[in-house]
Structures are given as C-alpha cells and as structure tokens.
Amino acid sequence: MSYKIYLSPPHMSGREMKYIQEAFDSNWIAPVGPNIDAFEEELCHYTGSKYALAMSSGTAAIHLALKVLGVEKGDIVLCQALTFVATANPIMYVGATPAFIGSEPVTWNMCPEALEDAIRHYVRFNKKPKAIIVVHLYGMPAMLDEIMFLCKKYDIPLIEDAAEALGSEYKGRKVGTFGDIGVLSFNGNKIITTSGGGALLSDNKSYVEKAAFLATQARDRAPHYEHSEIGYNYRMSNVCAGIGRGQLEVIGDRVKQRRAVFELYIKHLGACQGMIFQQESAGSHSNRWLTSMLLGEAAHAERVRHQLQSVGIEARPVWKPMHLQPLYGECDFFGGHVSEPLFQNGICLPSGSGLSHEEIAEVCGMIIECLV
Ligand SMILES: *Cc1c(COP(=O)(O)O)cnc(C)c1O
C-alpha cells in the first residue's frame, strides 16, 4: 500500500552519506568499526547514559536486557499491556512468563497502582517478579517516579522500553536512563533510524559488557573458539551506525518538529468535542513520536481511519493490548478498564517530522468532515 501521507516516514538529515562513505572508504563493512564506537559515544552524550551498546534491533536489546538481568525459565516478568508485541515477545524467548499491567488514563502507560497489585499478588505466592518492563508509548514518558518507587520498595529491576521515546524527558532527564537498563529502537518508522537497529543503555558497566558478550556469539577468552554459553549475533553494522550518526545530529530538530506537528493538531482539533489527546504528566516532555488521540466511540476511530486511508492518508489504530492478543490471552492481567477503550477508541495520526502545515490541515479537515 502506498500513501501520499505516511504515518511516520524516515526523515534523512543529508549527513548520513558522509558517514556511510567513510565506512566504505575504510572498508569497515562489518558489525564492528569506527561508526559504531562513535555512535555509541554520541548516544551516551545525548541521553546522559554512561554506556550504550548499538544492536541489530530494539527487540534484540530487550532480549539481552532480560538475559543480563538473569531472567530465566519460569520467572515472572511484569510488562505493560498496551504496547507493540516486540516489548513482550523477548519474555517468551527466555522462557519466562509475562503478566500484563493495564494503563493509567493520562499518559496511557503502566498504571502504578495496578503494578503494585501485581507485585503483591506474586510476592504472596512466593514468586516475586524478576523484572518490570515499562514502555513510553508513542514517546510519552510513563509515571516514572511512582514506578521507580515501587521498583525500589520491592527490589525489582526495571527495563525501560524507550524504543519510541528517544529525546523524551522526565524531570529534565532523558528517558531510557531511569531503568536499570533502557532500550532504544532505530527502526525505519522511529523518530530517527539506522534503517534497522537498536541500542541498550545502562549506567551499569557489567550489564553492558555482558550484553556485548552475548551479542557477539558469547565467545570466551581463549586463543581458539571456546564457548560455554549460548550467544547471539545482535550487533549493529558499521554502515547502519553511519546512518545513525547522521540522524542523531538532528535529533533535537526532530523532537521540535514532532512536537510542532502535535501542536498543529491541537490547534485544528483541540476545540472538537470528544477528542482526547495523550497527555504529558507533570515534569515530562514527550518527543511526540506519534500524535495519538481518543475519539468518543470505537466506531468513530475506525470510520476516521478508513476515510483517511481512502484518500491516501495513513493512520493506525492504537496498539492492541497484549492480554487481548491470541498469543497472550492466557496470561495474567492486572489493572482495570483503561487499556481496552484506549485500543478501541484510539487512533494514531500521521506524525512525520517532514509534514507540512498544509498536509496537517488536510488531515484535520478530513477528520472533522468525517465526524460531523
Ligand atoms: C519498535 C518497537 C520495539 C522494537 O524495536 P525494533 O527495533 O523494531 O526491534 C519495541 N518496543 C516498542 C514499544 C516499539 O515501538
């Protein structure tokens, strides 16, 4: 399917080719090389994380985050229900059991009360969860103070799935740096891209070293090929890291542009009845990767989406919560009735950083026409 306005297309800075050319000129066409080292350093500088490991995808980074935290077969991992399936699948890769946590209505992310209910439930059965995965959905920072308080209170490590949230801040600090481990994605539709890729962030050197070891086939220190653990081939290529370097140079602009897109939607639609946009909690600053909103009724969201599609404008439904997926239907779920209507009534609007005012006006005109 091709659209005239895409949901979130890649937006090149024009500086990527220089780094790719360097990779070719130096013949570092491998998952090792100077662009990778520099990209990791630049990610640390931008996010404030002490260490970063560039990887082949965000999904791979979540997988190794769980491995590094020692999550194993039979362990419970608490995971935000309202998210993309790639947040949850790595829990299955390591043989652990996911239990899903519903949303609060402000940021649409993990509800702290539901999280505490879940922790207490498993503690009561002597099955204290081995890790918690919180998501900053569509770039919107979750209620981190409340969630981190619970992580400390019950001594459970936190993985932050910041795949959609590079550039978002909470109380002046970049998200992805609050958890024991943070995860970024540079897939083609994210705020910046390496065509495909991800990163693992942590202030804990031993976590990042362990992840680097596992990401490169877990080769033991020996002159020959010696292996005592199962490893993976999860590093980023030096060519892709070159794209990432050219993209990271403009991340500040990209956050401003996505936020400006959101502001224009508010300007055009803010006064319309029954439209509720995802909101920043106190002290948070979203990268507004995708502008997402709720329409009064489920039927409206579907009608709007189809109408937009019929004129070549790509909009998407909000993620279908994991506990409603055939894949995860048997799993435990904690927390109320917020996630389901977010899915049923929600819609993600075209949010690319290259959108023009006219294009946004056109999208809004279609939405209003469709609802009157
Ligand atoms: C994109 C995404 C991922 C996975 O990242 P990939 O780089 O595509 O593997 C994980 N979680 C969320 C919330 C995402 O949006």
Cβ(351) – ligand 1 distance below 6 Å:
no
- In the reported structure, the alpha carbon of residue 364 is separated from the centroid of ligand 1 by a whole-number distance in angstroms of 28
Give the pLDDT confidence score for residue 187 in this predicted structure: 97
- In the reported structure, the alpha carbon of residue 185 is separated from the centroid of ligand 1 by a whole-number distance in angstroms of 6
Q: Which two tokens stand for residue 193?
A: 């891209």
Give the pLDDT confidence score for residue 371 in this predicted structure: 86
Cβ(57) – ligand 1 distance below 6 Å:
yes
Cβ(319) – ligand 1 distance below 6 Å:
no
Cβ(164) – ligand 1 distance below 6 Å:
yes
Give the pLDDT confidence score for residue 273 in this predicted structure: 84
- In the reported structure, the alpha carbon of residue 165 is separated from the centroid of ligand 1 by a whole-number distance in angstroms of 10
- Which residues have CB under 8 Å from 290's CB, separation 6+? 7, 8, 138, 139, 164, 316, 348, 349, 351
Cβ(139) – ligand 1 distance below 6 Å:
no
pLDDT tens for the chain, residues 1 to 372 = 789 999 999 999 999 999 999 999 999 998 899 999 999 999 999 999 999 999 999 999 999 999 999 999 999 999 999 999 999 999 999 999 999 999 999 999 999 999 999 999 999 999 999 999 999 999 999 999 999 999 999 999 999 999 999 999 999 999 999 999 999 999 999 999 999 999 999 999 999 999 999 999 999 999 999 999 999 999 999 999 999 999 999 999 999 999 999 999 999 998 888 899 999 999 999 999 999 999 987 778 999 999 999 999 999 999 999 999 999 999 999 998 899 999 999 999 999 999 999 999 999 999 999 987
- In the reported structure, the alpha carbon of residue 287 is separated from the centroid of ligand 1 by a whole-number distance in angstroms of 16
* 68: nearest Cα among 84, 85, 55: 55
The answer to pTM > 0.95 is: yes
Name all contacts of 352-359 with Cβ < 8 Å and 24+ positions apart. 352/5, 352/6, 352/7, 352/8, 352/9, 352/11, 352/261, 353/11, 353/191, 353/253, 353/254, 353/257, 353/258, 353/261, 354/9, 354/11, 354/257, 355/5, 355/261, 357/264, 359/5
In the chain, where does the domain assigned CATH 3.40.640.10 lie? 16-248
Return the CATH number of 251-371, one of 1.25.10.10, 3.30.420.40, 3.90.1150.10, 3.30.300.130: 3.90.1150.10
By most ligand atoms within 8 Å of CB, the mutation choice from 8, 55, 56, 59 for ligand 1 is 59
In the chain, where does the domain assigned CATH 3.90.1150.10 lie? 251-371
Give the pLDDT confidence score for residue 214 in this predicted structure: 98
- In the reported structure, the alpha carbon of residue 160 is separated from the centroid of ligand 1 by a whole-number distance in angstroms of 12
Partnered with residue 347 across adjacent β-strands are 293, 317
Cβ(86) – ligand 1 distance below 6 Å:
yes
Cβ(198) – ligand 1 distance below 6 Å:
yes
* 162: nearest Cα among 193, 134, 189: 134
Query: In the CATH scheme, what architecture does the domain 16-248 have?
Result: 3-Layer(aba) Sandwich (3.40)
Q: Atom 14 in ligand 1: which residue has the minimum CA distance?
A: 163
Give the pLDDT confidence score for residue 298 in this predicted structure: 73
Locate the ligand 1 atom nearest the alpha carbon of residue 197 and give its number: 7
Cβ(58) – ligand 1 distance below 6 Å:
yes
Q: 86, 325 in Cβ contact below 8 A?
A: no
